[in-house]
Amino acid sequence: MAEHFKPKITLFHCINTFGDAAEIYLTGKDNCELKTVKMPCSSMVKDIFLLRAFEAGADGVIVLVCPEGQCRYIEGNIRAKKRVAWVQNLLDEIGLDGRRLSLTNMAAGDKSTAIQAMDDVLKNLAEMGPNPAV
């Protein structure tokens, strides 16, 4: 792993669970480069968007969704969960390691869960190193 590896992370999040205030808090972290993509519902997170994030240079991708059973559009977070699992398998098959992509359920405004998700990804990335397809 490179000595000064500063991971690039793309964060997809549902605006109903993760607002601007929390976003500002996370982007304030200086141990990674964070790019955020807001979605009206996590069901918008299609397979291709996740893969394109990696093509664009992300070392890790995080998807933040509402807790199960609390999606404003009923099943958006379930769809997101299935798509993330599908892309994780694809990343494993490619040899990029599915752990680079993660999904976390969090209640609206629950900063600590978001920060924990970020810390988990950073911990995994410290082990895996930069995206080998960049």
Partner 1 sequence: MIVGEQKSISEIKGIIAPYKKILIMGCGTCVKTCFAGGEDEVAVLASALRLACKKDGKKIDIEEFTVERQCEDEFIQEGAPAVSRNDGVLSLACGAGVQALARRFVKTPVFPGVNTTFIGVLEKQGVFTEECAGCGDCKLAVFGGICPVTRCAKKLLNGPCGGSQNGKCEINPETDCAWQMIIERLRILGQMNNLRVYIPPKNWRTSLSGGPRKMVREDHMI
Residues that bind partner 1 (CB under 8 A): 46-48, 51-52, 54-55, 90, 93-96, 132-134
CB 9 within 8 A of CB 58: yes
Report, in Å, the least distance between residue 69 CB and partner 1: 20
Report, in Å, the least distance between residue 131 CB and partner 1: 9
Nearer to partner 1, 52 or 72 (CB): 52
Handedness of CA 98, 101, 106, 112 (dihedral sign): positive
Nearer to partner 1, 30 or 93 (CB): 93
Report, in Å, the least distance between residue 48 CB and partner 1: 5
Report, in Å, the least distance between residue 60 CB and partner 1: 14
Handedness of CA 125, 129, 131, 132 (dihedral sign): negative
| Six token digits for residue 1 | 């792993």
Nearer to partner 1, 15 or 51 (CB): 51
Edge-to-edge strands, sheet with 8-14: 33-39, 8-14, 60-65, 101-105
